Structure 1
Amino acid sequence: MPQRLSLLLTTVSLGLLPTVTLAQQSQQTSTGLTLTTDSVTVDVQFYSPDIVRVFKQPKGHSKNKQSLVVVLAPAPGKLRYGKQGNLLTVSSATTQARLNPQTGQVSFFTSKGQPLVSELAAGLRFTPKTDLGEPTYQVRQTFRLTPGEAIYGLGQHQDGWLNYRGHKTRLRQQNLDIAVPVLHSSKGYGLFWDNYSSTQFTDDDKGTTFDSEVGDCADYYLLNGQGSADGVVARYRTLTGQAPLFPRWTLGFWQSKERYKSQQELLEVVEKYRSLGVPLDGIVQDWQYWGEDNDYWNSTEFGNPRFPDPKGMVDKVHALHAHQIISVWPSFGNKTKVFQELKQRNMLYDFITWPPTHHVQVYDAFNPAARDLYWSYLNKNIFALGMDGWWLDATEPDQIHPLSSDDENQTALGSFRRVRNAFPLLTTTGVYQHQRQTTTDKRVFILTRSAFAGQQRNATMTWSGDVQSSWDVLAKQLPAALNLSLAGVPYWNSDIGGFFPNGQYPKGVKDPAFQELFTRWQQFAAFTPMMRAHGEATPREIYQFGERGTWAFDSQEKYINLRYRLLPYLYSIMWGVTHAAGTLMRALPMDFPQDPKVADLGSEYLFGPAFLVRPVTESQYVTRADKNVLGTTDFTKTKTTDVYLPAGASWVDFWTGRRQTGGQTVSRETPIDVLPLYVRAGSVLPLAPRQQYTGEKDGAPLEIRVYPGANGEFTLYEDENDTYNYEKGAYATIRMRWDDKARQLTFDSRAGSFPGMQAARTFRVVLVDEQHGTGLGQDDAPAKEVKYAGQKTTIKL
C-alpha cells in the first residue's frame, strides 16, 4: 500500500491555540507522488528514470485521460522520496522533481542537483469555459528558463527562426505550419505538452508558456536527455514510438508535378528518364485520377477515362524498375461510394474544406470504425493494384474558410476544437496500422503534409506544404526542417522549386531565374530525407530545363547522381533513426553545443554524422528587371557564399579535398553547380557506384572514403531493402573504424545475416586528400582493394 503523508501547516502564537489550519496532502505512489493543494491536484509520475509526467487538474476534478500520443507505460525503477527545505522531492537515478506543497509548483533537477526547468510559482491557470455545452477549461502553464538558454522544436513553421527564445508562434495545424508541442532545450532536456487543441506558445520576459484553447487538465512530460540533444530525441521516441524503416528505394530521386493528367503521360515520364540515363526511383500521381467532377472527389477509384488500366500502369512502372505512390485525401465528394457509407454512419464533418464546396466533406479520423472503412476503400481500390505508397494530402485537414464552424463539429473524442492538432496523427495511424495488418512484405511509406507528436511511428515522411517559389521561402525551409527534427520527427522534405511559381515566375521553367532557384533548391533537396521535384503551373522534369550540356540540366543530373552514390550512407543512417532514435537532418547545436556561434544558426546543418551542408539561398547569376520578363544569366564572375565551420572539428571540402580547421567563417566559391559541402575529419563514408535505380548494382564494389584528421567510424547496414523481416533480426551490420594515428582502417566482423546477403564483397578504400576521393569521385581513383568475407580485416593506408 502507498505510504500516506499528511502535512499540517499551522501558525501558532506562543501560549495560544493555533489560529490557521491549512491542510495539504501528499501521497507516495508506485510511480511518483500525488499532491493536493487548496486549488489543484498534482500527479508526478516517472515513466522511466529520464521521463517524468506532470498531470494537474483543478481540485475536485478527476477526469481520466487516455493519451493519443504516448505509447510508454510508467516503469520508474527505484524512486527515492525526501524533502529539500520545505519542498517535497521524488528522485530517480538521473532526475529529481521538487514539489511545493502549498502551490503545487514543480521544478526539475538532475540527480546531482543541477537545475533543468521549473514552473513559475503562479504559472498554472485554468480558465473555465464550455465546449459543445460541456464544462472545461482554457489551460495555461508557464515555465521559467535560464538566461542564455536556447529553445528549439515546436514543429515546422515558416517564420525563419531556429531559436525560439523571445518569440511566439501559434501551434495549430494548417498548410505550411505543423504543430508539434515539443520544446527542445539547449540544456539537454525537452518538454512535451500533451494537448491537442490550438495552443499559443510564447517566450518573453514573463516566462515560457503553453496556452491551450481546450483542456480538462495540464499534462506535460519532462524528457531528461542528460545534457545531450540526441538524448532528448531518444527519450521523446521512447515515450511516443520509434520510427519504422522505409523501403530503401524511397531514398532515390522522385519525380512529381501537379498533376499527370493521364496514364500515358505518367509512363512517358518514367520512360524518358530511363532513355536519358538519369536515375529515378519514384513517380507520384496527384489528384483527379478519379475524374474532374468534384462530386466524385477522392473516390479512391480510377474513374478518369485517361487512366484506362491502372493496374497495367503500376505494373509497367515496376517493369521499368521504378515505384509509384498516389494522392489520397481525408475528404470525399458526395457522389462517391465512400462518402455515402460514411454519411450513413454519421462519420463526416460539415465544415468547409478544399475544394470549397459543401459537397466535399472530411471524415472523422478519430473514430476507429471510420478509419477501418477508409482503409477498406484504399485497400480494394488502390493498394490491391500493387501501389507502393501513399501521398496523404491535406492531413491538417485543410479548412478553406477562416470563419468556418469546423471547431463546433463533434468527433468521436469530443469537439474538433479539442483534438484538431492530432488529426494527422490519427489519419496516418489508420493507414499505417491497416497496411501492416494486410501484409508484412511491403513496408509502409506515407508522404503527408502535416504531422503531430508521435507520428514518426506511422512511417510518415512530412513535406512543408504548398510553399511559394522564392529565395526567401527557400531560406526558411532550413530552420523549419531542423526544428521539426529537433521536435523528434525525423523525416522531412519540400517541393523542389516551391509549389507556387506563378507569383514570382509566371514563365516557369522557361525563365532562367526560375531555373536558378530550382537548381539551388534541388541541391538542398539532395541532402534532405526525400529528394522530390514537385509543383504546379510549370513542368519539373529534368528534360524540361534543356538538354544535357546546358547548365540547369547538368547541375540537376550531377546532384541526382550524387544522391545515388550516397545510398549506402543514407540507408545506414535511416537504420540509425529506427534502431537508435537517430536524427538525419541535424541542427548544428546538436553536435556542437559548446560553440555559441551555432546556437541560432539556421542556414546550415549536418546531414548525418559526416556532412556539413550550407545551401545557397540567394540568386547569384540571374537578374530580372520585371517578373514578367525572362531573366538574364551572367556566369562571367564566380560568386561566393560564407560558410561557418563549427569549432571542435576539422572540415574537408567535399569537392576539393582541402582540409580547414573549425571555428571560422570561410568564403566558398559557389559556381552554379557547387553546393558548399564539407565532410567532418575522421569520417568513414561508404559510396555506391552510379546507377539508374536503387539495387541496380548491389553486387558491385563499394567505395569507402576515409577523411583523415581524427579518429572515426561508421556502421554499414544492409537488409532485404523492403519487408519487415528486419524487425525479426534479418539484417547485417559491418562496423568500420579509422585510427588516424596508426593510419589503419578496420572492418569488424559482420554481425547478423539475412536472406540473399552477399557473403563476400569488395571494398575500394580511398584516403581523401586534395588529389584523391573528391567530388563525385572517379572509379579509377587510387584505392586499396579489400576482399571482405565477413571476418575482421585491418588495412594500413
Structure 2
Amino acid sequence: MRKYYSFLSTVVFLFAFPVCAFSQTIHYQKTDNGIIVRPGINNIAIGKQIKIEVITDQIIHAVITPGDQFSLEPSLMVLPVKSKPEWTVTENADGIRLTTKSLLVKVDIHSGQIQYQDLNGKNILEEKIQNARSFKAVSNDGEAGYQITQVFNSPNDEALYGLGQHQDDMMNYKGKQVLLLQNNTDVAIPFLLSSKNYGILWDNYSITKVGDVRDYQPLSSLRLFSKDGDQGWLTATYSDQKKNAASITRAESDIDYSFLSDMKKFPDSFKMANGKVLWEGKISSGYTGLQHFHVKYAGYIKIWINGELLVDKWRQAWNPGTAVVETEMQKDKKYDIKIEWIPDGSESYLAIKCLTPIPEGEKNQYAFSSEAGDEINYYFVSGANADEVISGYRTLTGKAVLMPKWAMGFWQSRERYKTQEELLGVVKEFRDRKIPIDNIVLDWQYWKPDSWGTHEFDKSRFPDPDAMIKTLHETYNTRLMISVWPKFYSGNANYDLMNKNGFLYKRNIADGRKDWLGYPSTFYDAFNPEARGLFWDLMNKNLYKKGIDAWWMDATEPDIHSNLPIEERKQLMTPTFLGSATKYFNAFPLQNSKGVYEGQRKANANDRVFILTRSAYGGLQRYAAATWSGDIASRWEDMKSQISAGINFSLSGLPYWTMDIGGFSVERRYEKPDAADLAEWRELNTRWYQFGAFVPLFRGHGQFPFREVYNIAPADHPAYKSILFYNKLRYRLMPYIYSLAGNTYQKDYTIMRGLIMDYGADEQVKNIADQYMFGPSLLINPVYKYGATSRKVYLPKLNGWYDLYTGAYVKGGQTINAKAPYGQMPVYVKEGAIIPYGPEIQYTAEKPADPITLYVYTGKDGTFTLYEDEGLNYNYEKGAFSTIEFTYSESAKTLTIADRKGTFKGMLENRTFNIIRITPKKAKALNFNQTPDKTIHYTGKQTITKF
C-alpha cells in the first residue's frame, strides 16, 4: 500500500508552498500550472484549500482538500497531459479570476465557490454557493478518508448524459439518480456530459451517486394501508401455483429481498420454485410531486399504482435487473397499489424502494457523492460541441486505440461451444451458407471442470486446440476470441503460484464459499502491477502462444460471488494493493485490462490487442477494450433499454460498445416453444439483429436456444432472410464503418451518437432514448415492440432525410410514422451524406474495398473522409494510413475526390468509384446492381465530377 504518500506530500508542500504566500491582499498562490486558494471561510465543510490547474485552454482541474496538503497519489484514470497553455490570474474584491484563451474561472475568496464561464462572462457551470461541498471523515479498513459530495447548479433546460451504461431505459439523467457501482449489466464511468457542451470527469474510484444523491428509502417511508384498510402495512399473500397448499398471508411494511442473505426473510414454508406473491393495499405520500420507485427484481414482476401498470418485466433469478419508475402523487391522497411477483427458481430477488419528490431548493442542481476519497477531485472539460468535450475526456484519459479491422465484422458466440468439433462445425456452417463472419467466440468451461484459472483446454473435448486455431485461421479465415476470467480455483498450479506471491483476494476462500459449479475460488488483485504481470504471463503461456486473437475478460466488476450485499462484495476484495476496497472498488476493470493490454503489446508489438470486458471505467479506451452490456434478458423491454444504455455509454467517452444480440438469458417458454412463442422468438431476434448491425461491434450471443441464424429460423423464413440481409449490409458498409473507427483514434470520434451530438440545437432531441446516429449519416430507429409494422421516428431539424431503402426524401423537424415491415428497420440518411459501400464479402480481409459505390444524398453540401490502413497492426500510430476526402457542393452540383493523403503497405494505388446521386425529386433504391450515374477511375489525384 502507498503509505509513503503522506510523508512525501508534507515534504513537497513545505518546499512548494511558502507560508508567506497568503498575504492580507493576495489570496492565492501561483503554481507552475495554476493557483492555490485558501477560502476566507476556512473550514472542513468547504475545504481548506482549492487548487485550480490549467490542463489545456478548455480543461480545468479542480482539487479541494479538507487538509493542510494535497494528495500526491497519481490517478489511475487520468494520464499526464503534455501542454503548456497560456493563462493569467488577477484578483479583485469579488474574487480571483483565472483566464485561458477559452475560459474564465472565478473563485470566490470567501465561500470557495468556483464558476466556469466563457470569455464574455457567461456561465457554463458553477458550483452551488451554499452547501456546495461536504467532507465527512470515515475509516475504511483502517484507512482514513472522507465521504465527499460536490454540488453544481443546473439550469432548467440542461440535460445530462453519459455516466456509463445503465439498464433503466433513461436517456436524460436530469433530476434522476445514477448509481456508479460496477455490476453485471451496469457499468460505472464517472464522466458526465451536459447539453451545455461541457463535461465533468470525477476522479474517484469509490461507489458514487450522481444527480439526485439522496438515499432511496424503504417502502415504509410512505404511508401504507393493508387490503382491509389497516394503516402501517400492505397485505402479502404467498401461494403455491402448482399445489393446493394453503396460502400464507402476513403484514409487510417493506419489500427488501435484495441479496442472498435476505432469503431467510421469506416464510419458512414458502417454496420459490412454484411460488407466487401478491402485495395489495394503498399508499400515500406526505409530498406532492413525482415519486420515484426503484425496483430490483428477478423472476416476473408487475406493479400497478391506481390501476396503471407501471412495471411488467422478467429477469433470470441469478442476475436480477433494475427498473426506475415514476408516478405523480398528491400529498396525503391514497393510491391503490398491487404488486405481483412470480420468482423464477429456488432463489430470486425483489426489492422496492422509493424517493420522494425533489425538494424545491434542490431541483436546479446535481451532485457527485462518493463513499471514499482524500479530497474532491474533478476535471471541467468544455468545448464548442459534444465531440470537443469527448475529445477533452480522451485528452485526459488516453486515445481510443484502433481495434483490428476484423473486429468490425460479425462475431458469433454461444454459451457455450462445448467441444472443438462443435465450434469448428459452426464456422463451417457459416462458410457453407455464405453468411459473413470474422470471429468465433469460445466462452467459459473449455477447461476441465475443476480447473478454472489454469487456462488449459480440456483434452477430452478440445483434443488439439493448436490444430483447431490453425483451421480457423487458414481454412475458414476466422479469428478466435477466448474467455478468460480473473478467477482461480483453489488447488491448481496457477492458484498456488498466485497465492505464493500474495496476489489473490483470500476472503472468499476463508469464508468457504463455492461458486455455482461447486468449487472454492477467488480473484487476483488487479491493482498490483506484479500480479497483473503474472496474470498475463499465464495467459501468454497457455493461450496467446497458441494463436488466440482476442480476449473476452468476463466478470470484471469484479463478480467474485454473485448477489452478495455491497459491503460483503467489498470485503471479498480487501485489501487491494493500493488500499481499501471501498476506495478503489470501481476501478478493477480498468486495471485488469491494463495488464492484458500492456502484456500483449510487450509480447508482440505488431498485432493489435482486442479485449471485450463486462465492465469498464474511465480510461478503458486506451487499453483496446470494448464493453458489452452483460447478461441481459431476451425480452422486448431489455432490447429497448440497450438503446439508451449504448448511447449513454458512448457519450461517456468510450467508443466501442456491444451487446448480446437476442439477449443472454431466456424465458423457459422459448426453450420448448409452442407455435406462438416460436414466432415471437424469431421476431425478437430479427428485430435485435437489425439493431445490432448498427452498433460499434456486431455480436450475437446467448444461452439456449442457440443464436446462429440457421438455428433461429430456416433459410426460407423471413427472420433468416432479414438477419442475413443486415449482416451483408454491415459488410457492404465496411468502408464507412472502418473510417468511423479510424476517426475514433485520429479525431477522437464517437461512432454511436446520441442525437444531442449532431442536433444539440434541436430541443426535441434531448430526451429521445430510442434513436441515434450511426456515424455522421445514418439515423437508426430500432423496432422493439412485438408485432409492430411501423414506429414513430423523429427526424431532426436542420436538414432533410432520405429513406435508406427507397431513397424517398422527407423534410426534417417532424415526427413521422415510419414503415417497419417484419424484415426491415427504419433507417434514414442525412441530407448531404456521402456513404461508401464496398463489394459483397464474407470476411473483412477477403479482398480490398474496390470498387466502392458512393451514394451521394444531395440537397446540402456534404463531406466524408475514407480512412484505410493495414488493419491488423500498430503502424497507423506511426503514420501508416491513408485518407481520401469526398466533398459534394450543392450549389455547384459537383463531387470532388481530393488528392489521397498518406500511404501504407498494401494500399490500392488505383481505385474505382461508382457514383449514385440521389436528389429530393429523384429517389433511388439501395441497389448495388443498378447502373451508376458516374464511374470514376481514381489514381490518387483530385478529380471533380459535375452533375
- Do they superpose with TM above 0.5? yes
Equivalent residue number for residue 339 of structure 1: 495
Separation of aligned partners in 2, 1:507 and 1:581: 47
Equivalent residue number for residue 165 of structure 2: 156
* Equivalent pair of 1:31/1:74 in contact (CA under 8 Å): no
Equivalent residue number for residue 137 of structure 1: 146
Shift of 1:669: 1.3
Separation of aligned partners in 1, 2:196 and 2:394: 19
Percent sequence identity over matched residues? Answer: 39
Separation of aligned partners in 2, 1:216 and 1:335: 39
| 2:585 aligned with 1:392 | no
1:202 alignment partner, one of 206, 211, 225: 211
Separation of aligned partners in 2, 1:725 and 1:165: 43
1:172 alignment partner, one of 175, 178, 181: 181
* Equivalent pair of 1:562/1:776 in contact (CA under 8 Å): no
Distance 1:774 1:272, change over 3 A: farther
SS in 2 for 1:616: coil
SS in 2 for 1:619: coil
Deviations 1:546-593 (A, max 9, x none): 322211110110100100000000000100111000000000011111
Shift of 1:349: 1.1
| 2:672 aligned with 1:507 | yes
Shift of 1:95: 1.2
Separation of aligned partners in 2, 1:440 and 1:184: 35
Separation of aligned partners in 2, 1:585 and 1:301: 37
Shift of 1:721: 1.0
Distance 1:530 1:795, change over 3 A: same
SS in 2 for 1:104: coil
Equivalent residue number for residue 853 of structure 2: 703
* Equivalent pair of 1:704/1:764 in contact (CA under 8 Å): yes
| 2:893 aligned with 1:743 | yes
2:530 alignment partner, one of 358, 369, 373: 369
SS in 1 for 2:132: strand
Separation of aligned partners in 1, 2:400 and 2:668: 37
Equivalent residue number for residue 192 of structure 1: 201
| 2:639 aligned with 1:474 | yes
SS in 2 for 1:411: coil
Compare 498-507 and 352-361 and name the one that shifted more: 352-361
1:548 alignment partner, one of 682, 706, 715: 715
Separation of aligned partners in 2, 1:527 and 1:775: 19
Shift of 1:274: 0.6
Separation of aligned partners in 2, 1:62 and 1:767: 61
Equivalent residue number for residue 719 of structure 1: 869
Distance 1:428 1:773, change over 3 A: farther
Equivalent residue number for residue 463 of structure 2: 308
Compare 335-344 and 24-33 and name the one that shifted more: 24-33
| 2:762 aligned with 1:595 | yes
Equivalent residue number for residue 286 of structure 1: 443
Equivalent residue number for residue 661 of structure 1: 811
Shift of 1:695: 2.2
* Equivalent pair of 1:48/1:74 in contact (CA under 8 Å): no
Equivalent residue number for residue 485 of structure 2: 329
Which stretches of structure 1, 4 residues or longer, exceed 4 Å deviation after superposition?
1-5, 351-354, 769-776
Deviations 1:102-139 (A, max 9, x none): 22221111122110111112211110111111221111
Distance 1:586 1:370, change over 3 A: same
SS in 2 for 1:517: helix
Distance 1:541 1:776, change over 3 A: farther
Equivalent residue number for residue 59 of structure 1: 67
**1:306 counterpart letter in structure 2:** R
* Equivalent pair of 2:859/2:920 in contact (CA under 8 Å): no
2:569 alignment partner, one of 380, 388, 406: 406
Shift of 1:359: 1.6
Distance 1:179 1:355, change over 3 A: same
Shift of 1:2: 8.9
Separation of aligned partners in 2, 1:107 and 1:359: 53
Equivalent residue number for residue 212 of structure 1: 370
Q: How does 1:405-424 map to 2 (within 5 A)?
A: 405-408=568-571, 409-424=574-589
Equivalent residue number for residue 460 of structure 1: 625
* Equivalent pair of 2:853/2:928 in contact (CA under 8 Å): no
Shift of 1:6: 3.4
Q: What is the aligned residue count? A: 763
Equivalent residue number for residue 791 of structure 1: 941
Shift of 1:700: 3.2
| 2:417 aligned with 1:249 | no
* Length-normalised TM-score, structure 1: 0.93
SS in 2 for 1:211: strand
**1:305 counterpart letter in structure 2:** S
Compare 499-508 and 580-589 and name the one that shifted more: 499-508
| 2:453 aligned with 1:298 | yes
SS in 2 for 1:120: coil
Separation of aligned partners in 1, 2:70 and 2:689: 53
Compare 257-266 and 332-341 and name the one that shifted more: 332-341
Separation of aligned partners in 1, 2:449 and 2:926: 45
Separation of aligned partners in 2, 1:270 and 1:62: 56
Shift of 1:776: 4.5
SS in 1 for 2:24: strand
Shift of 1:519: 0.6
Equivalent residue number for residue 625 of structure 1: none
SS in 2 for 1:736: strand
Compare 420-429 and 780-789 and name the one that shifted more: 780-789
* Equivalent pair of 1:767/1:773 in contact (CA under 8 Å): no
Shift of 1:338: 1.7
Aligned-pair Cα RMSD in Å = 1.9
Equivalent residue number for residue 222 of structure 1: 380
Separation of aligned partners in 2, 1:696 and 1:380: 31
* Equivalent pair of 1:49/1:76 in contact (CA under 8 Å): no
Equivalent residue number for residue 116 of structure 2: 108
**1:102 counterpart letter in structure 2:** H
Shift of 1:80: 1.1
Separation of aligned partners in 2, 1:239 and 1:508: 51
Distance 1:166 1:249, change over 3 A: same
Shift of 1:720: 0.9
Separation of aligned partners in 1, 2:531 and 2:702: 31
Separation of aligned partners in 2, 1:373 and 1:695: 34
Q: How does 1:225-236 map to 2 (within 5 A)?
A: 225=383, 227-236=384-393
Gaps of 5+ in 1: 10-23, 622-638
Shift of 1:758: 1.1
Deviations 1:270-306 (A, max 9, x none): 000111111111100001111223xx11321113411
| 2:28 aligned with 1:26 | yes
Distance 1:93 1:508, change over 3 A: farther
SS in 2 for 1:414: coil
* Equivalent pair of 2:881/2:903 in contact (CA under 8 Å): yes
**1:189 counterpart letter in structure 2:** Y
**1:381 counterpart letter in structure 2:** N
| 2:768 aligned with 1:606 | no
* Equivalent pair of 1:138/1:211 in contact (CA under 8 Å): yes
Separation of aligned partners in 2, 1:659 and 1:771: 8
Shift of 1:5: 5.5
Equivalent residue number for residue 252 of structure 2: none
Separation of aligned partners in 2, 1:184 and 1:100: 25
* Equivalent pair of 2:670/2:705 in contact (CA under 8 Å): no
Equivalent residue number for residue 38 of structure 2: 36
Equivalent residue number for residue 128 of structure 2: 120
Separation of aligned partners in 2, 1:448 and 1:781: 45
Separation of aligned partners in 2, 1:546 and 1:527: 22
Equivalent residue number for residue 265 of structure 1: 422
Distance 1:467 1:711, change over 3 A: same
* Length-normalised TM-score, structure 2: 0.78
